Structure 1
Amino acid sequence: MKYGFFHPRPWHDQGPAHPAHGLRTSCPPPPRQQAVFGGMALIAMFVTSMMSPILVRRLAVLGFIAAFIAVALLPVFGTDFGKGAVRWYALGFASLQPSEFLKPGFVVVSAWMLAAAQEINGPPGRMYSFILAMCIAVMLALQPDFGQACLVLFAWGVMYFVAGAPILLLMGMAGLVLFGGTLAYQYSEHFARRIDGFLSPDVDPRTQLGYATNAIQEGGFFGVGVGEGQVKWSLPDAHTDFIIAVAAEEYGFVLVAIIITIYASIVLVSLSRLMRERDTFIRLAGAGLACSFGVQAVINMGVAVRLLPAKGMTLPFISYGGSSLIAGGIALGMLLAFTRARPQKNIADVINGYR
């Protein structure tokens, strides 16, 4: 299959992955394309990071509206590239996954609503943000893309918790998510197949998880050597959903530990900075962006080591794909804009909040 310019990852079911099929679908994409994606992501991150929080919020609202409409129109104009999940737009010269750009915009818009709700005589932002989160989660689940739907709900839950939500209410929300998962298991063959594969005590070596598990075991502590790994030639989506298995096989646990440390450092440093932030909107938006960034990495790596059921989610800034990489650059740029050192407002500004 030829990958479009922004096409991040048409991913496969967890059924047997025949080696010949793997050779056809997992051949590494041209590094030049990924270099272009990386350059665009860096530019987006740098430009966004230099903006003021107010400008970031305004642009995020516009981007969110555009991405929301694009996701809503996927059932009409989108394509599944033969994968059974309608997530992409085929633009002829390129392919685009709008849900990747929807996530950072949703976080900022929800943070704005939650912050406005804390103002005196403010709007019911908590209810508005909850309705918005549920609408997006339903749209993503219908694609189906349960991983992204869960990530959206998680980001909203983090911001709601930081905004002071009662723990009992959050527990009720978690119960609602579990209930939704139960319904998905009963009525979605796609979802049920992945859960059954995760709960099975044995790992079929012919599946994606089987190939990934074997690659990680073969890599050991120092890996088999650069370019010497075999899993990338037989594992579908080795360059996207299971890129960490390729890294573990060729570079070993050492590189994986470095990657985990980098992700953890970004999240922890960001949260540490946000703890000192007095502006409610910035604190909520930053927490949502940082935690969703870290959890996406945890989900991707957790799937590869069979700690989580397969989700079809990329590893931020490492997996191949223009949509994921550029949207990640925008999200990290927003986080940098929110955590960048700036003069703190006086108490009157804090009370008045953003208007």
Structure 2
Amino acid sequence: MTEMVYGAAPVRDGEPILPKWWRTIDMWSMSCILILFTIGLLLGLAASPPLAAKNGFQAFHYVQRQAFFGCFALIAMMLTSMMTPVMVRRLAVLGFLVTFVALLFLPFFGTDFGKGATRWYSLGFASLQPSEFLKPGFVVVAAWMLAAGQELNGPPGRMWSFILCIMIVFMLALQPDFGQACLVLFGWGVMYFVAGAPMLLLVGMAGLVVLAGTLAYSSSEHFARRIDGFLSPDVDPTTQLGYATNAIREGGLFGVGVGEGEVKWSLPDAHTDFIIAVAAEEYGLILVLVIIALYTVVVVRSLFRLVRERDPFIRLAGTGLACTFGVQAMINMGVAVRLLPAKGMTLPFVSYGGSSVIASGIALGMLLAFTRTRPQGEISDLLGRSRSR
């Protein structure tokens, strides 16, 4: 209907899927994602052998597993990016329902692997973290609700999406996983802002977040310990944060050399949460800046393409996915340099983790599908016609 009313760019009838996908995909974003995955494997070669030796595995056991899961992630990304927005929405709704149920049963059947937070299902040969797969599904479902709420006589999508967001945040906080809870709340807040939320309401929500953080600090020893460690003027050199801070300082501009870093022998999470410390120590600030630039290109290019999008659902869902992806990377690196409290959050497509890399592949596949060039024209065309009337 939109194409009939506003006009459309010519469509190549009968064009095969692959050539059409290649012609319409954002090649810059996809190239940056592939480079990030390659950098992740490179850093895994440096960071994971000490842990593999400690656990009795071959030196590159974790690198091989990351490559295996990464191949699945890239295939999932490519296939998802070939879908239409309607197909992506259906996939997201189905995935969200499955992972939401999995999150509900996590306190009863999940495990913490000795880390103090019940976030995973143990499958024997691997582990599964439902919250990683829940995020992209929730973003798309919430965007669908918000877009539907903007329609004439539409449902109360804003209220429904808010209730759903609060339920998820509450379940994540019970694990406890405050990092993922904040990320889900942030993703919803960005979409709500883009959908036209009043600033006063957003300020009120920020106040509620501060109040919830205060209550969590007083009631959760896990949360309080991390906040106290972040606020302390002195960093204990024997903690993960102390090791990471020292490694970044030692790396300097060009690093100490490939394989010469020491932090990987001290940090149990050197290949996951603190992978950026390994990059800074062995390759220096240069590689860190390259990694930051790659994430920036993906987010900024996606947002620029989404600004021209007419469909409010695509615009909201794509914005939520892009901002969530970028903020997760920012949180991971911010923790390593002590700009943020420890969150236990991976660096997308770079850190080791089957759930993380596959979920990131699906999320970025959805983002690439939403930012593809479509034949309905751009929102600027519509605005130009409105001014001329």
Give me the TM-score of the superposition, normalised by structure 2: 0.82
Give the ranges of 4+ consecutive aligned residues of structure 1 lying more than 2 Å apart after TM superposition.
20-30
The answer to whether residue 232 in structure 2 is matched with residue 200 in structure 1 is: yes
Give 2:357's aligned residue: 325
Give 2:294's aligned residue: 262
Structure with more helix by fraction:
2
Give 1:237's aligned residue: 269
Deviation at 1:84, TM superposition (A): 1.4
Percent of aligned positions with the same letter in both sequences?
77
Q: Report the Cα distance in structure 1 between the residues aligned to 2:369 and 2:77, rounded to whole angstroms.
A: 9
1:28/1:21 CA distance change after superposition, 3 Å: closer
Q: Report the Cα distance in structure 1 between the residues aligned to 2:246 and 2:175, rounded to whole angstroms.
A: 31
Deviation at 1:28, TM superposition (A): 6.9
SS at match of 2:344: coil
1:133 pairs, out of 165, 171, 178, with: 165
Q: Report the Cα distance in structure 1 between the residues aligned to 2:351 and 2:83, rounded to whole angstroms.
A: 27
1:295/1:202 CA distance change after superposition, 3 Å: same
Deviation at 1:32, TM superposition (A): 1.0
Give 1:60's aligned residue: 92
Deviation at 1:345, TM superposition (A): 6.4
- Judge conservation of contact 2:132–2:356 (CA < 8 Å) in 1: yes
- Judge conservation of contact 1:23–1:234 (CA < 8 Å) in 2: no
- Judge conservation of contact 1:22–1:233 (CA < 8 Å) in 2: no
The answer to whether residue 181 in structure 2 is matched with residue 121 in structure 1 is: no
Spell out the pairing of 1:98-117 with structure 2 (5 A cutoff). Answer: 98-117=130-149
Q: Report the Cα distance in structure 1 between the residues aligned to 2:271 and 2:51, rounded to whole angstroms.
A: 15
2:260 pairs, out of 208, 228, 237, with: 228
* Greater gyration radius: 2
Unaligned runs of 5+ in 1: 1-19, 351-355
Spell out the pairing of 1:1-355 with structure 2 (5 A cutoff). Answer: 24=54, 29-344=61-376
- Judge conservation of contact 1:22–1:235 (CA < 8 Å) in 2: no
Q: Report the Cα distance in structure 1 between the residues aligned to 2:355 and 2:60, rounded to whole angstroms.
A: 17
Q: Report the Cα distance in structure 1 between the residues aligned to 2:186 and 2:60, rounded to whole angstroms.
A: 32
Deviation at 1:22, TM superposition (A): 11
Unaligned runs of 5+ in 2: 1-49, 383-389
SS at match of 2:327: helix
Total equivalences in the alignment: 329
Give me the TM-score of the superposition, normalised by structure 1: 0.90
Deviation at 1:29, TM superposition (A): 4.6
Deviation at 1:46, TM superposition (A): 0.0
Q: Report the Cα distance in structure 2 between the residues aligned to 1:340 and 1:304, rounded to whole angstroms.
A: 34
Superposed CA RMSD: 1.8
Deviation at 1:55, TM superposition (A): 0.3
